[in-house]
Amino acid sequence: MERVYNFSAGPSMLPVQVLETAAAEMLNYQDSGMSVMEMSHRSPVYEKIIQDAEKLLREVMNIPDNYKVLFLQGGASTQFAAVPLNLLSGSGKADYILSGQFSTKAYKEAQKYGDIAVAGSTKDINFSAVPKSETLNFRADADYVHMCFNNTIYGTKFRYIPDTGSVPLVADMSSCILSEPVDVSKFGLIYAGAQKNMSAAGLTVVIVREDLLGKARPETPTMLDYKTMADNDSMYNTPPCYCIYIAKLVYEWILGLGGLEKMREHNAKKAALLYDYLDSQDYYLAPVAKDSRSMMNVTFVTGDAELDKKFASEASSAGLKNLKGHRSVGGMRASIYNAMPMDGVEKLVAFMKEFAKNNPKK
Ligand SMILES: Cc1ncc(COP(=O)(O)O)c(C=O)c1O
């Protein structure tokens, strides 16, 4: 079977070049006589891989020197607990911006640990936009503010970085990291599950400002304390070795293409093709407010649940996979992360036109 266009929200497509390199190096990584999966994480050959991965990520994202990069396990969901455990140790207060399901889950998890307030929410409009900056309320004595930058399920994204003054801003960037440049210095902490734009599932990256380390609450499990991992260069225990190796290949691929500015151009063109088509017709509806549209996850509906089902099924037969929307919102969702080629989006738009022609609404 040929490779398909995989519009999955995660795990998702990886660049072919990365997969080919991994395949070529599978049995014998750089004359070590073994695969990366089989080698000790304490071996010099593996130590070079993880050190190079960190160096490359710093270069790709232009991460300032006063930030630590941690390669962790447990998925972004583990960070929903790790963030309050590590940071909620001053006033015990934190403010959460609710812009979708994941930020709501993070908010609920944090409530176990202290005085957690809602800084702003768009639940009343079914998260079809992110909260506007002027509607946000922050407490000056909060230990941190939490937000989710790109809302994978709803297809929304913040176009601005909330101004939290001196209160550290924590951002879940699972579904937009590496899609475009971001000013890391505006954040106290960034975290991301790697399975969308960075690697295979099993790796979570945390980028944390050094002054936020060493403040963990006493009950924090050793493994969830950022300082444990920072002091041990993410090697306190066995790290997700193979995923870190794949991430390194992805960072090399991005640099080879010209870095995150180029990545943004590529992603903006793909997203524009899809949104321009959606805006030019009335068969499909794009439910997200224009000023909140995500470049990574594009949601649309026909307005008829049966037609939506037929669309996803026929698209799948045509080699356009995983277009069914998240089970909680229905409709369709095209996740067009970095590795999705322009060609995939062109094929999708052509399919959408054909489907609309062949399935007139009653
Ligand atoms: C924005 C966002 N946050 C958190 C998660 C949860 O990530 P994980 O499955 O790695 O725990 C996801 C998963 O899709 C996500 O898209």
Determine if ligand 1 sits within 6 Å of the CB of residue 109.
Answer: no
Using the atom order of ligand 1, give the atom closest to the CA of residue 75. Answer: 10
Of 224, 257, 290, the one marking the end of a domain is 257
* Predicted local distance difference test score (pLDDT) of residue 65: 98
Q: Are residues 202 and 262 in the same domain?
A: no
Q: At 56, which CATH number? A: 3.40.640.10
* Predicted local distance difference test score (pLDDT) of residue 102: 98
Q: Are residues 276 and 143 in the same domain?
A: no
Q: Are residues 172 and 309 in the same domain?
A: no
Determine if ligand 1 sits within 6 Å of the CB of residue 73.
Answer: no
pLDDT per residue as tens digits for the range 198-214: 999 999 999 999 999 99
Quote the tokens at residue 13: 């497509």
**198: CA distance to ligand 1 center in Å?**
13
User: In angstroms, how far is CA 2 from the centroid of its own chain?
Assistant: 27
What CA dihedral angle connects 251, 256, 261 and 263, to 10 degrees?
Answer: -70
Determine if ligand 1 sits within 6 Å of the CB of residue 76.
Answer: yes
Using the atom order of ligand 1, give the atom closest to the CA of residue 105. Answer: 4
Determine if ligand 1 sits within 6 Å of the CB of residue 102.
Answer: yes
Determine if ligand 1 sits within 6 Å of the CB of residue 193.
Answer: yes
**297: CA distance to ligand 1 center in Å?**
13
130/122 Cα distance (integer angstroms): 6
Number of H-type helices and E-type strands within the chain: 9, 13
Quote the tokens at residue 94: 């934190």
Supply the pTM of this predicted model. Answer: 0.98
* Predicted local distance difference test score (pLDDT) of residue 20: 98
3-class secondary-structure state, position 34: coil
Q: Are residues 118 and 243 in the same domain?
A: yes
Q: Are residues 35 and 164 in the same domain?
A: yes
106/98 Cα distance (integer angstroms): 9
**103: CA distance to ligand 1 center in Å?**
10
Kindly report the protein residue whose alpha carbon is nearest to atom 15 of ligand 1. 174
Kindly report the protein residue whose alpha carbon is nearest to atom 9 of ligand 1. 75
Determine if ligand 1 sits within 6 Å of the CB of residue 12.
Answer: no
Q: Are residues 120 and 201 in the same domain?
A: yes
Of 233, 257, 281, the one marking the end of a domain is 257
Mean pLDDT of the chain: 97
Determine if ligand 1 sits within 6 Å of the CB of residue 174.
Answer: yes
Using the atom order of ligand 1, give the atom closest to the CA of residue 149. Answer: 1
3-class secondary-structure state, position 239: coil
What percent of the chain lies above the pLDDT cut of 90? Answer: 98
Quote the tokens at residue 340: 């999705």
94/83 Cα distance (integer angstroms): 10
Kindly report the protein residue whose alpha carbon is nearest to atom 7 of ligand 1. 76
**194: CA distance to ligand 1 center in Å?**
9
Q: Are residues 230 and 298 in the same domain?
A: no
Q: Which domain holds residue 276?
A: 5-10+258-358
* Predicted local distance difference test score (pLDDT) of residue 362: 78
Q: Are residues 215 and 347 in the same domain?
A: no
Q: Are residues 247 and 263 in the same domain?
A: no
Helix 260-279 and helix 241-257, axial crossing angle in degrees, nearest 10: 80
3-class secondary-structure state, position 70: strand
Kindly report the protein residue whose alpha carbon is nearest to atom 1 of ligand 1. 174
Q: Are residues 174 and 156 in the same domain?
A: yes
- φ/ψ of residue 62, rounded to 5: 55, 55
Other C-beta atoms within 10 Å of 6: how many? 19
Q: Are residues 81 and 215 in the same domain?
A: yes
pLDDT per residue as tens digits for the range 20-36: 999 999 999 999 999 99
Of 257, 273, 299, the one marking the end of a domain is 257
pLDDT per residue as tens digits for the range 180-191: 999 999 999 999
Over 80: is that where the pLDDT of 45 sits? yes
Task: Compute the average pLDDT of residues 81-87.
Answer: 98
DSSP 8-state class, residue 235: -
